[in-house]
Amino acid sequence: MFRSVVAATIPMVAAVFSVGAGLSLVGLIAATTTFPTTAPTVATLLGLGVAIDYGLFLVARHSEQVEDGMGLGDSIGRTAATSGSAIVVAGGTVVIAILGLYVSGVPFVGALGAASAIVVAVTMLSALTLVLALLGLAGLRVKRRSARTAAPVDDLDPDERARQLAAEHEARATAHEHSAFARWGRLVSDRPWPWAIGAVTGLIILSIPLLSMRLGQLDAGTDPESDSSRKAYDLISQGFGPGANGQLTVVVDLPKQSQNANQTLLDNLTKQLSNTQGVAAVAPATVNSADTMAIINLQPTSAPEDAKTSALVDRVRDNVLAGQDETTYLVGTVAGYADFTEQISKRMPWLLAAVVLLALLLLTAAFRSLVIGLKAAAMNLLSVGAAYGVIVAVFQWQWGSSLIGIDQSVPIPSFVPMLMFAIVFGLSMDYEVFLLSRVHEVYVATTGDSHRSVAVGIGATARVITTAAAIMVAVFTSFVLSTDPTVKMLAIGMAVAVLIDATIVRMILVPAIMSLLGDRAWWIPRWLDKVLPNFEQEGSTPSAAAPAPALLNR
């Protein structure tokens, strides 16, 4: 993309150091608290993707400016003020979205998000420090070889320098406006309704499998067949039945009565459990020496991750234990998984609301547009829904699952949709911010023409966004090599989401909707404009030389 080895190396070097530093910080914090064992893997998966993305956007902006003749110092400052500001907004959105996992009320899920948020925050700081420092060290070597002979404009007369830079900036904008990506943007903008309807229909079709998503938890039965845990699981299933790998235990708080009366109570309860649909066997009750507590072990007819076993947990609790006068509990790994799934399912709407609302406020404050924030939230929800649909089709419907080492239909761990939503929503906002920050910059500072600003914005960023998305898809897809099915799900879901976002959403929906909205895209109520903080992004605020159109706050 850069036609320069030095420019191409900078984002990679920065990514390695920033992710390494972020994981080291997670390791230090882990000395005082607890993180899930999968936290470093998920944090690495996300950190590498965003670190390379942020580096790409900074280097692309800087190399474009120095090739236009801008001095190195001025260019790095301008890059930090424009693309750097966009990175702060984008990175902040990702961090907020991931920390929203604490809304789940489950410490395990919240800790997963915290580890990833730490790494993302470090990569964001690295982009604003290390990448800019590397750009200074690289000098003119970030330019294409054919462009390195052009002299910088640092030594020109200030007025002449300003005129030359303005002319070169306009020439670059014109080139962007007539690039292949810009022509595509105009093609979509000329007939926005058919393109928008087609794109939304495609995303809804991809989301259809979501309706049959089955939440559950994975066990040793989903491990690779070469693992000793899987071999033991299979042997137990063959010898004692599939339910032997996930037995349930009923705990009874015995009343203060005679031993014979308690024995009669336990015999009746054992008989009820034996007659319950889905129970393969019930062991005799075991009573403690004080005759105050008893446990009854029962074996399901189905495997732990089977939907029938989850139904059995509900059946025992609702139809058997709920009718007992004594205090009873149903415990065990399978019962714990069922409770965990129920807890996550109840909290999911709260996570959706919290993340969408915070991201909406951040985008509205950044672009001074309520419409842009609402549009971005709606499109990102469509992207997430499509990614969920693909996950269900691959792991539950087994469409191509054998290609990634999954030999059976498996449930979706309940925390995966929650984690995916937070991560994918944040990543989708990355591309939204980078594209619209350039569109907004052109709209406010150059033309005030909504159609031209969209064409120039797409022409200026589409090549970089496409390259960044391709790299991120490659990074995410590489984690399919992991033996952990949960990591595979996250990898495929995030790769699909990024691919959808960089193609269907960014290249079709955005130009179509921006064309339909026109100048109304930048509308914000006056009262909200006064309340929200103002992020002064250079190039995105009116100046005397290029006054903003009066419709900004109409």
Q: Are residues 218 and 360 in the same domain?
A: yes
Task: Give the residue, 548 or 216, on which the prediction is more confident.
Answer: 216
Query: Of 113, 136, 154, which marks where a domain is finished?
Result: 154
The rounded percent of the chain whose pLDDT value lies above 70 is 89
Q: Are residues 148 and 265 in the same domain?
A: no
Asked if residue 546 is part of any domain, the answer here is no
The pLDDT value recorded for residue 551 is 35
Q: Are residues 353 and 492 in the same domain?
A: yes
Q: Are residues 2 and 144 in the same domain?
A: yes
* Averaged pLDDT, 203-228: 87
Q: Are residues 148 and 176 in the same domain?
A: no
* Averaged pLDDT, 20-42: 93
* Averaged pLDDT, 540-552: 41
* Averaged pLDDT, 487-509: 90
The contacts found for 290-293 with CB under 8 angstroms, 24 or more apart, are: 291/254, 291/259, 291/262, 292/253, 292/254, 293/251, 293/252, 293/253, 293/254
The pLDDT value recorded for residue 109 is 87
The pLDDT value recorded for residue 550 is 37
The pLDDT value recorded for residue 549 is 38
Sequence-ordered list of residues with C-beta below 8 angstroms from that of 286, at least 6 positions apart, any chain: 294, 295, 296
Element holding 85 (H helix, E strand): helix 72-99
Query: Of 154, 179, 206, which marks where a domain is finished?
Result: 154
| Total domain count, the chain | 3
Q: Are residues 49 and 133 in the same domain?
A: yes
pLDDT exceeds 80 at position 324: yes
- The interaxial angle of helices 333-367 and 72-99, nearest 10 deg, is 140
Query: Of 288, 305, 331, which marks where a domain is finished?
Result: 331
Q: What is the CATH number of the domain that holds 315?
A: 3.30.70
Asked if residue 75 is part of any domain, the answer here is yes
Q: Are residues 122 and 201 in the same domain?
A: no
The alpha carbon torsion through 20, 21, 27, 31 (nearest 10 deg) reads 160
pLDDT exceeds 60 at position 199: yes
**How far apart, in Å, do the first and last CA atoms of the chain sit?**
41
Tens of pLDDT, residues 62-71 = 998 888 778 8
The pLDDT value recorded for residue 546 is 40
pLDDT exceeds 60 at position 156: no
Asked if residue 458 is part of any domain, the answer here is no
- DSSP assignment letter at 157: -
Q: Are residues 443 and 299 in the same domain?
A: no
Tens of pLDDT, residues 336-348 = 988 988 888 888 8
pLDDT exceeds 90 at position 435: no
pLDDT level of residue 323 (50, 70, 90 thresholds):
confident
pLDDT exceeds 90 at position 49: no
pLDDT exceeds 50 at position 543: no
Q: What is the CATH number of the domain that holds 519?
A: 1.20.1640.10
Asked if residue 478 is part of any domain, the answer here is yes
Tens of pLDDT, residues 82-124 = 889 889 888 888 898 888 888 888 888 899 999 999 999 999 9
Report how far apart, in Å, the C-alpha atoms of 373 and of each of 93, 116, 124, 461, 552 are. 12, 24, 22, 19, 15
Task: Give the residue, 190 or 286, on which the prediction is more confident.
Answer: 286
Query: Where does 396-538 have alpha helices with state H?
Result: 415-442, 450-478, 485-500, 510-517, 526-531
Domain assignment of residue 428, given as a range: 163-241+347-448+468-540
pLDDT level of residue 172 (50, 70, 90 thresholds):
low
Asked if residue 47 is part of any domain, the answer here is yes
pLDDT exceeds 90 at position 351: no
pLDDT level of residue 547 (50, 70, 90 thresholds):
very low
Residue with tokens 């965003």: 50
The pLDDT value recorded for residue 93 is 82
Q: Are residues 172 and 118 in the same domain?
A: no
Q: Are residues 44 and 123 in the same domain?
A: yes
Residues 120, 95: contact at Cβ < 8 Å? Answer: yes
Tens of pLDDT, residues 217-234 = 888 887 777 889 889 999
The pLDDT value recorded for residue 189 is 84
Residue type, 546: A
Q: Are residues 167 and 141 in the same domain?
A: no
pLDDT exceeds 80 at position 178: no
Q: Are residues 479 and 532 in the same domain?
A: yes
Task: Give the residue, 442 or 392, on which the prediction is more confident.
Answer: 392
Residues 485, 406: contact at Cβ < 8 Å? Answer: yes
The pLDDT value recorded for residue 162 is 66
